[in-house]
Amino acid sequence: MISFFEIYLAVSYKVFIFTHINYNKMIIPIREKKIQQVEIDLTGPDGNVFNLISIATDLAKLLNQRRGAKYFDIPALQKDMMSKDYEHAVKVMEKNFGHMIIMYR
């Protein structure tokens, strides 16, 4: 059933509403919130290895919070990123967070 508010919007803005709004879906649990992709310019100051480690730590904390468990071992992730050279740190970022980040060279 269409509410008075929906009819008012349709008439006042000359918009025809053909579907019914499901008000039960307006409040979504935080775990279902989509994560926006993080863009990192590796040639600029954001490409600094310490900044990459900071971003990886923040993303790991976010995923641990969302999944409700210890999904990432953060100290091990940081140690792995610092164990070798810059390219290794970039590969670790891509391997663990490739679905959440876009890196530009």
Neighbours of 34 (CB within 10 A): 6
Say how far apart CA 34 and CA 22 lie, in whole Å: 20
Say how far apart CA 55 and CA 40 lie, in whole Å: 10
In a domain, 15, yes or no: no
Query: In b/e form, how buried is each residue of 80-100, taking b as 16+ CB within 10 angstroms?
Result: bbeeeeeeebbebbeebbeee
In a domain, 74, yes or no: yes
Structural domain range at position 60:
30-104
The mean pLDDT of 83-101, rounded to a whole number, is: 95
In this predicted structure, the answer to whether residue 61 has a pLDDT above a threshold of 80 is yes
Cα 66 versus chain centre, distance: 11
Cα 74 versus chain centre, distance: 18
Q: How many CA atoms lie within 13 A of 7 on its CB side?
A: 4
Rounded to two decimals, what is the model's pTM? 0.67
In a domain, 82, yes or no: yes
Number of domains in the chain: 1
Counting every residue written for the chain, the total comes to 105
In a domain, 71, yes or no: yes
- Give the pLDDT score at 12: 47
Q: How confident is the model at residue 29 (pLDDT cuts 50, 70, 90)?
A: confident
Element (H, E) at 103: strand 101-104
